[in-house]
């Protein structure tokens, strides 16, 4: 007899076992997929923070968990929405006691983005934004430094709403003003809560060291 090591079912022929597929085997064989890895990392953080467990959960624990499906769905959501940094988002979901079925809700993600943008350091915000500007440049055969002059209004609005462009960029880079000037009133209103002018005017007026750091970056890039 040949026994499946995952579900313990037995087969008379080895070939039947090889062709056999069960949920546990499928989970184990797909453990290296990105969405599974992202879900697994969130699962580990969840157990550490929400239950105070000291022993780290293994990938095998994950494959056997009744919450596997939800966490992989979450991993897929993180991947599709390029949520960055994903670990900070998971910490937020746990801290705010968001129920698991809402972890991949656009409404919750948007709430987090608005908050996270305000808590991020200038270094991280600028670095992350430049990476996304570079992505844009790659798909449009342009230079990332052309971003503000060449990006479309709708694309820019979407990138701000999804947290890809930090307000640190918008409020420290003179060239960023070029795109703001090109937006319609309707587009401005769609990003207003993300770039919160009142908050950021105050912040950039008081944190001159951070502003200076960002301005050096833009100067060096010729922006």
Interface positions with Zn ion (CB under 5 A):
4, 6-7, 22, 25
Would you say 159 and 195 are in contact if contact means Cβ atoms under 8 Å apart? no
Question: In whole angstroms, how close is the CB of 62 to Zn ion at the nearest point?
Answer: 17
- Closer CB to Zn ion, 30 or 105, in the complex: 30
Question: In whole angstroms, how close is the CB of 65 to Zn ion at the nearest point?
Answer: 17
What is the separation, in whole angstroms, between the first and last Cα of the chain? 70
- Closer CB to Zn ion, 4 or 98, in the complex: 4
CA 145 and chain centroid, separation: 23
Beta-bridged to residue 3, according to DSSP, are 10
Beta-bridged to residue 2, according to DSSP, are 11
Structure tokens at 125: 């915000």
Pairing outcome for strands 10-11 and 2-3: antiparallel
Question: In whole angstroms, how close is the CB of 13 to Zn ion at the nearest point?
Answer: 15
Question: In whole angstroms, how close is the CB of 30 to Zn ion at the nearest point?
Answer: 14
Question: Please, where are the H alpha helices in the chain?
Answer: 14-19, 23-29, 34-51, 59-64, 68-80, 86-95, 106-119, 122-139, 147-150, 153-161, 167-170, 176-182, 185-195, 197-206, 208-220
Rounded Cα distance between 147 and 134, Å, is 9
- Closer CB to Zn ion, 25 or 88, in the complex: 25
- Closer CB to Zn ion, 6 or 168, in the complex: 6
Question: In whole angstroms, how close is the CB of 60 to Zn ion at the nearest point?
Answer: 15
- Closer CB to Zn ion, 2 or 92, in the complex: 2
Question: In whole angstroms, how close is the CB of 37 to Zn ion at the nearest point?
Answer: 22
Question: In whole angstroms, how close is the CB of 66 to Zn ion at the nearest point?
Answer: 18
Angle between helices 153-161 and 185-195 (to 10 degrees): 20
- Closer CB to Zn ion, 21 or 131, in the complex: 21
User: In sequence order, which residues have a C-beta less than 8 Å from that of residue 209 and are 6 or more positions away?
Assistant: none
- Closer CB to Zn ion, 22 or 143, in the complex: 22
Rounded Cα distance between 12 and 89, Å, is 48
């Amino acid at each position: 007899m040949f026994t499946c090591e995952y579900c313990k079912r037995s087969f008379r022929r080895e070939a039947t076992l090889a062709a056999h597929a069960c949920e546990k085997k499928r989970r184990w064989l797909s453990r290296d997929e990105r969405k599974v890895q992202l879900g697994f990392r969130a699962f580990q953080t969840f157990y550490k923070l929400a239950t105070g467990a000291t022993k780290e959960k293994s990938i095998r624990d994950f494959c056997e968990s009744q919450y596997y499906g939800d966490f992989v769905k979450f991993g897929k959501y993180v991947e599709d929405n390029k949520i960055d940094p994903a670990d900070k988002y998971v910490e937020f979901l746990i801290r705010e006691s968001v129920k698991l079925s809402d972890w991949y809700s656009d409404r919750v993600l948007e709430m987090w983005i608005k908050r996270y943008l305000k808590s991020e350091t200038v270094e991280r915000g600028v670095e992350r934004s430049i990476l996304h500007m570079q992505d844009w440049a790659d798909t449009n055969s342009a230079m990332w430094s052309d971003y503000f002059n060449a990006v479309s209004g709708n694309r820019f609005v979407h990138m701000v709403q999804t947290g890809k462009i930090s307000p640190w960029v918008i409020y420290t880079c003179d060239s960023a003003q070029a795109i703001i000037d090109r937006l319609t009133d309707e587009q401005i209103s769609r990003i207003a809560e993300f770039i919160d002018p009142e908050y950021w005017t105050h912040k950039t007026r008081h944190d001159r060291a951070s502003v200076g750091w960002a301005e050096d970056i833009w100067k060096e890039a010729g922006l």
